[in-house]
C-alpha cells in the first residue's frame, strides 16, 4: 500500500474494512506510538454536505461515549478533501463471522453477549444517541470475551433535525419496523435490532430474510417471527421470551430501555424467568377453545339419535333358544376377561428422550417399569443431563416391572487447548488440524513482539490449557517480529520535544552535549540513526544537544618565547599569527605584544596575532 498519512500523524498500515459510507484502515499514531483504526469517508460522499455533516456529527457525538463495551473515538479531522475519524483498534471477531463459521452459539453465551451490548446502548441512549445499525457485523468479540459495539456510522443524536429525504439508513435484515417505514426512531429501535441479532446468535438463522432488501423490510413490518424454540429446541423458554418481546412490532410493547432488557438477560443467565418476557394476547403460547359441534335437527329436538320404528311380526320359539345360548356365551367370556384369562401383563414403554434421569425414573414408576442401566455419552445437540436414547424404545410392549436402560448426555466432548507458544505457525496449524487433536484451526492474527521471534506463536484464543468443546476453532496470535518504524526527524527541536517524539514512536533516547554556533542552546544538533531511517522500536537513538556558542578567553602570551606562545594559543583553540618586529637584544625571540589583548572573548578558530621581537642584523 502506498505511503498514506492522515493528519500528519496517522500512518496507514493496511486496509481492514469497507462500509456503505467509509473505508477503514489500520494505522500507527506516530505521535503516541499506538495502533489505531482510521475511518475515511468515501470520495463520492466528501463533496455532499449532508453526508459530510453526518460524518462530522458522528465523531462529535461518539466522542462523548466512554464505556468498556463501546469502541473509543480518539480524534477526527479533515485532510485535504478527505474526512476521517480515528478510533480504538479492536482485535477480535465480529459476531456475524462467529455465527457463520461456527453455527448458533450456546444460548447462555448469546445472552451474555447481548447483555454487554445492552450495557453499551444504555450509555449511548443516555446521551440521546440512537445507533440505528445494530447488527452482528458491528459487534466485535475480543480475545478476552469482551463485547465492543462499533461503527456509529449512521448514528446521530436523537434531537437533531437533520434528515435525508426518501432514504432509510440501516441493514434490511436487522432494521426495526418503524425504521423500515421511515418513521422517527428511539431506543426501542436499537433494541429491536438487538433482538434480531440475539435471534440469529441463538438459532443460527435470521427471523426475516427475503429475496430482496425491500422484501425483507416489508417482512419486518408485517410478518411475525417463528418462535426461536421452534428452530432450536434447546433454547431456554426465558431467552425465547426476551427475544420475542424485543421483536414486537409496536415499539411501545418492547422493553422500555436497554437497562430493562439487560436485567431480563441477567435473569436468563441466572436460570430465572424473564420478568418482561410474557406474551400478549394472540401470541404463541395461548390455548384456544374449540366451539362445540352442532347436532342434527332431530338430535336437538329429541336429545338422541332418531329411531326408526320396527314393524311387528311373530318370532319362532327356536329363535329365542338360540339367542339365549349366545347371551350365555357372551357372559362367560366377560367373566373370563374379568378374571384375567386373556391378560398377558403387557406394558407400553413411555418416551424418555429429552427428560432428565429423575424425570425418567418418575415416568417409569408410573408405568410400572424400573430404571435400568444409566450410561453417558457426548452429544452436540442434546443439552447436558437430558436423555439421548433408551432401550427398549418408546412404544414397545414389555412385561410389567421390566427395566429400561437410558443414555444421558454429558454435552459436547471437551478437550484441552495445548500450549503452542513458541511453535512455528505452520507447525501449530498442523497440530490443530490433526485428527486426534479434537480442535481445528481458525485463523492467524499477526502482532509485533520484541521477545518472540517472527513467525512463532505468541498465544492462542482460547488460551492454552483451557478446556473447550471438541472441534473448537483456535485462533493463533503469531509474532510479526519487532515493529519497525521511521525514526522521526528531531534536528533543531528542543530536547524535551525531541525526546517526546522519539519515545512516542517507541524508541529509547540518550543525549550528549556539544557547542554550536548555529543551533540554539538546548536544541538538537544531530541524531543517530539519521532521520527517516526505518529502525526497530525499542532501539536507542542518540541526540547531540547544543550548549550554544563556545566562548574562549584569549591567553596572555606576552614575554613568552615564540614556540611557547604558539603552543598556548593553539591549546586554547585559537590560531596564532606571528609578526616579527625590530627589538632590542633582550627581547629577541620574545612576544612583545598581542592582539586581541589577554582576557578578550573569542570563538574557536579565531586568529591571535603576536609580535615577536627580532634584533636587527649588523650592516
CB of 386 closer than 8 Å to CB of 432:
no
Annotate 97-130 with DSSP letters as a single string.
HHHHHH-SPPHHHHHHHHHHHHHHHHHHHHTTEE
Q: Which are the contacts of 597, defined by CB distance < 8 A and separation ≥ 6?
A: 554
- Cα 201 to the center of its chain, rounded Å: 14
* Burial class (CB within 10 angstroms; exposed 0-12, middle 13-18, buried 19+) of 571: exposed
Q: Give the residues across from 593 on adjacent strands.
A: 611
Nearest to residue 37, comparing CAs of 49, 47, 50, 22? 22
- As a residue count, the chain comes to 619
Distance CA 541, CA 530 (A): 9
Instruction: Give catalytic status of residue 133 as yes or no.
Output: yes
C-alpha cell of residue 615: 634584533
DSSP state at residue 291: P
For cell 418503524, the residue is: 178
Q: Which three cell numbers stand for residue 506?
A: 517507541
Q: Note whether 75 and 27 are within 8 A (CB).
A: no
CB 592 within 8 A of CB 579: no
For residues 215 and 217, give the distance between their C-alpha atoms in angstroms, rounded to a whole number.
Answer: 5
Nearest alpha-carbon partner for 38 in 65, 69, 8, 68: 8
CA diameter of the chain: 202
- Asked if residue 577 lies in contact with residue 551, where contact means CB atoms within 8 angstroms, the answer is no
Residues 8 and 87: their CA atoms lie apart, in Å, by 16
In angstroms, the CA 618 to CA 583 distance is: 13
Please spell the DSSP secondary structure of 402-447, one letter per residue: -EEEEEEE--S-EEEPP--TTSBHHHHHHHHHSGGGSEEEEEEEEE
Active-site pick, 29, 94, 133, 461: 133
Active-site residue list:
133
Amino acid at each position: 500500500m502506498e505511503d498514506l498519512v492522515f493528519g500528519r500523524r496517522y500512518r496507514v498500515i493496511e486496509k481492514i474494512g469497507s462500509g456503505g459510507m467509509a473505508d477503514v484502515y489500520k494505522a500507527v499514531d506516530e505521535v503516541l506510538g499506538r495502533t489505531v483504526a482510521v475511518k475515511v469517508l468515501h470520495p463520492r460522499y466528501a463533496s455532499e454536505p449532508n453526508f459530510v455533516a453526518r460524518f462530522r456529527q458522528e465523531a462529535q457525538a461518539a466522542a462523548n461515549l466512554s464505556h468498556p463495551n463501546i469502541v473509543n473515538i480518539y480524534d477526527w479531522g479533515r485532510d485535504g478533501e478527505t474526512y476521517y475519524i480515528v478510533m480504538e483498534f479492536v482485535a477480535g471477531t465480529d459476531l456475524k463471522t462467529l455465527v457463520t463459521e461456527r453455527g448458533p452459539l450456546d444460548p447462555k453465551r448469546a445472552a451474555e453477549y447481548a447483555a454487554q451490548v445492552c450495557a453499551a446502548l444504555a450509555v449511548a441512549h443516555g446521551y440521546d444517541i440512537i445507533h440505528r445499525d445494530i447488527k452482528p457485523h458491528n459487534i466485535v468479540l475480543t480475545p478476552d470475551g469482551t463485547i465492543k459495539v462499533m461503527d456509529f456510522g449512521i448514528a446521530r443524536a436523537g434531537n437533531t433535525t437533520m434528515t435525508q429525504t426518501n432514504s432509510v439508513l440501516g441493514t434490511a435484515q436487522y432494521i426495526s419496523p418503524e425504521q423500515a417505514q421511515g418513521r422517527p426512531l428511539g431506543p426501542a429501535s436499537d433494541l429491536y435490532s438487538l433482538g434480531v441479532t440475539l435471534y440469529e446468535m441463538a438459532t443460527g438463522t435470521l427471523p426475516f430474510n427475503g429475496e430482496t432488501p425491500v422484501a425483507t423490510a416489508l417482512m419486518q413490518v408485517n410478518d411475525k417471527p417463528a418462535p426461536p424454540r421452534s428452530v432450536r429446541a434447546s433454547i431456554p423458554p426465558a431467552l425465547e421470551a426476551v427475544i420475542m418481546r424485543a421483536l414486537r412490532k409496536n415499539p411501545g410493547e418492547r422493553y422500555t430501555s436497554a437497562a430493562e432488557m439487560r436485567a431480563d438477560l441477567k435473569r436468563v443467565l441466572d436460570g430465572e424467568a424473564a420478568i418482561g418476557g410474557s406474551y400478549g394476547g394472540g401470541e404463541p403460547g395461548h390455548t384456544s377453545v374449540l366451539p362445540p359441534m352442532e347436532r342434527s335437527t332431530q338430535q336437538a329436538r329429541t336429545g338422541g339419535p332418531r329411531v326408526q320404528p320396527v314393524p311387528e311380526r311373530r318370532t319362532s320359539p327356536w329363535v329365542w333358544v338360540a339367542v339365549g345360548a349366545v347371551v350365555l356365551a357372551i357372559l362367560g367370556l366377560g367373566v373370563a376377561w374379568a378374571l384375567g384369562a386373556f391378560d398377558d401383563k403387557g406394558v407400553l414403554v413411555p418416551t424418555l428422550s429429552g427428560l432428565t434421569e429423575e424425570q425418567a425414573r418418575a415416568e417409569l414408576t408410573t408405568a410400572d417399569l424400573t430404571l435400568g442401566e444409566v450410561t453417558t455419552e457426548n452429544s452436540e445437540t442434546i443439552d447436558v443431563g437430558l436423555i439421548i436414547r433408551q432401550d427398549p424404545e418408546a412404544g414397545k410392549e414389555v412385561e410389567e416391572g421390566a427395566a429400561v436402560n437410558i443414555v444421558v448426555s454429558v454435552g459436547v466432548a471437551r478437550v484441552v487447548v495445548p500450549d503452542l507458544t513458541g511453535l512455528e505457525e505452520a507447525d501449530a496449524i498442523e497440530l490443530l488440524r490433526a485428527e486426534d487433536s479434537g480442535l481445528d484451526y481458525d485463523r492467524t492474527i499477526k502482532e509485533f513482539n520484541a521477545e518472540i521471534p517472527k513467525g512463532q506463536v505468541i498465544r492462542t484464543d482460547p488460551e492454552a490449557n483451557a478446556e473447550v468443546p471438541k472441534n473448537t476453532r483456535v485462533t493463533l496470535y503469531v509474532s510479526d517480529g519487532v515493529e519497525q518504524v521511521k525514526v522521526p526527524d528531531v534536528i533543531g527541536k528542543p530536547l524535551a520535544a525531541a525526546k517526546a517524539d522519539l519515545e512516542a514512536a517507541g524508541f529509547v533516547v540518550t543525549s550528549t552535549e556539544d557547542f554550536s554556533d548555529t543551533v540554539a542552546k538546548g536544541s538538537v544538533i544531530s541524531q543517530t540513526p539519521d532521520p527517516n531511517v526505518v529502525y526497530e522500536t525499542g532501539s536507542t537513538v542518540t541526540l547531540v544537544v547544543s550548549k550554544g556558542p563556545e566562548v574562549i578567553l584569549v591567553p596572555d602570551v606576552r614575554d613568552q618565547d615564540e614556540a611557547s606562545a604558539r603552543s598556548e594559543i593553539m591549546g586554547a583553540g585559537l590560531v596564532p599569527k606571528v609578526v616579527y618586529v625590530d627589538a632590542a637584544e633582550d627581547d629577541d625571540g620574545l612576544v612583545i605584544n598581542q592582539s586581541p589583548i589577554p582576557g578578550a572573548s573569542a570563538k574557536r578558530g579565531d586568529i591571535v596575532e603576536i609580535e615577536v621581537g627580532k634584533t636587527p642584523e649588523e650592516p
